[in-house]
Amino acid sequence: MFRYSLAAIAAAAAMLVAPIDASAQQTLAQVKARGSLNCQVGLPTPGFYALSAAGVWSGMDVDMCRAVAAAIFDDPAKVQYQSVTSAVRFTALANGESDMLSRTTTWTAVRDTQLGLEFAGVNFYDGQGFLVSKASGITSARGLDGATICVLTGTTTELNLADYFRANRMTFTPVTNENVNVLVETYLGGGCDAYTNDKSSLAARRSAFPSPNDYVILPETISKEPLGPVVRHGDNNWGDIVRWVLFGMIEAEEMGVSSANVTEMLASPSPGIRRLLGNEGNIGEGMGLPKDFMVRVLRHLGNYGEVYERNVGVNTAVGIPRAGSLNALWNNGGILYPMPFR
């Protein structure tokens, strides 16, 4: 809360006096020298960056951090997690505190071009929706005219919300907070008629409500929210590493390589699998990683499908169905389409 604002000031102040950093291209070397990856996630959220009672991080986005650490160190545990509010996420990345950011962040033009950031890809296609209580009797977002709506401040969600109501000539009163936990508490206390966020996040939050079945997510999706990992602008090699670890995990699912069969697949004659696992070509070495970096990732984390089902799939508390959604593979009705691994 307040200390995060202080962090923003400290970050800005650091930029005032810090000497000019000439080693923008050295992220990989710095990570190796440090012996761990500084990976930024958000305030604990089920499914994406959840924190267990024992202090262990897990989730879709946490697995992205772990995959990059596995590719570099062959050890997914070599990650220092930084949990900060949405409001200071980009400052913390831009000034070098974090090596990468993996925390349901939407890829937008302004963020990509004006904030010194580089989006490495998309690991979850999402869209914004509204959560209301069943008792309210609301069945459509069009029925929200005049409503009070809880929204996380400093997010694209906040802008989409205003756009949607403007476009449909409706009015609303926002109740904002930068801390998602405070906001949800306000919503559950009856401070708002609806809570808006990315639909995946609504499902994740609802799973932790005292009585999840009393709440319903409205059918409308009011925005495109491609969520993915982000790195600093200027270190293209580092961006490549994050991007191709992500593509590699999707490619592995497409080729049927998983954590269970990766050892057997090393003997596969298929040229595509041989390239993915580093038996052919030098994709890993070109980025400063060993040839078999994807073997490491797959052995520790598994492919994209495994990561999805483990964290947010239908068998988890979050329970977001994958089949038929945007997040299915491109040859399976979705739009998840990894660039060719060759």
- Residue numbers at the binding site for another protein (CB under 8 A): 1-2, 5, 8-9, 11-12, 15-18, 20-21, 24, 86-88, 90-91, 94, 110-111, 114-116, 145-148, 153-155, 158-159, 161-163, 165-166, 172-179, 182-183, 185-186, 189-191, 193, 232-234
- Give the C-alpha separation, 296 to 67, whole Å: 8
* CB atoms closer than 10 angstroms to residue 309: 14
Q: Write the single-letter amino acid at 244.
A: W
- Give the C-alpha separation, 314 to 259, whole Å: 20
Residue 154 CB, nearest distance to another protein (Å)? 3
- The string over 314-336, giving b where at least 16 C-beta atoms fall within 10 Å of a residue's C-beta and e elsewhere, is eebebebebeebbbbbeeeebeb
Q: Would you state the structure tokens that stand for residue 231, as one six-digit string?
A: 């790195």
Residue 227 CB, nearest distance to another protein (Å)? 17
Nearer Cβ to another protein, position 96 or 338? Answer: 96
The sign one gets for the Cα dihedral 74, 77, 79, 83 is positive
Tell the residue number behind the tokens 């699912």, with chain if given.
253
Residue 22 CB, nearest distance to another protein (Å)? 9
Residue 125 CB, nearest distance to another protein (Å)? 22
Nearer Cβ to another protein, position 100 or 283? Answer: 100
Q: Phi and psi at residue 252, in whole multiples of 5°?
A: -65, -40
Residue 1 CB, nearest distance to another protein (Å)? 5
Q: Write the single-letter amino acid at 287.
A: M
Residue 99 CB, nearest distance to another protein (Å)? 15
Residue 69 CB, nearest distance to another protein (Å)? 24
Nearer Cβ to another protein, position 87 or 326? Answer: 87
Residue 310 CB, nearest distance to another protein (Å)? 31
Residue 198 CB, nearest distance to another protein (Å)? 16
Tell the residue number behind the tokens 């299915």, with chain if given.
328
Nearer Cβ to another protein, position 160 or 327? Answer: 160
Nearer Cβ to another protein, position 88 or 301? Answer: 88
- Give the C-alpha separation, 126 to 124, whole Å: 6
Q: Would you state the structure tokens that stand for residue 304, as one six-digit string?
A: 């994209």
Q: What angle do CA 47, 197, 314 make, to 5 degrees?
A: 35
Nearer Cβ to another protein, position 174 or 334? Answer: 174
| Chain CA centroid to CA 205, Å | 15
- Give the C-alpha separation, 82 to 36, whole Å: 12
- Give the C-alpha separation, 76 to 62, whole Å: 10
Nearer Cβ to another protein, position 190 or 210? Answer: 190
Nearer Cβ to another protein, position 146 or 256? Answer: 146
Nearer Cβ to another protein, position 157 or 303? Answer: 157
- Give the C-alpha separation, 229 to 138, whole Å: 35
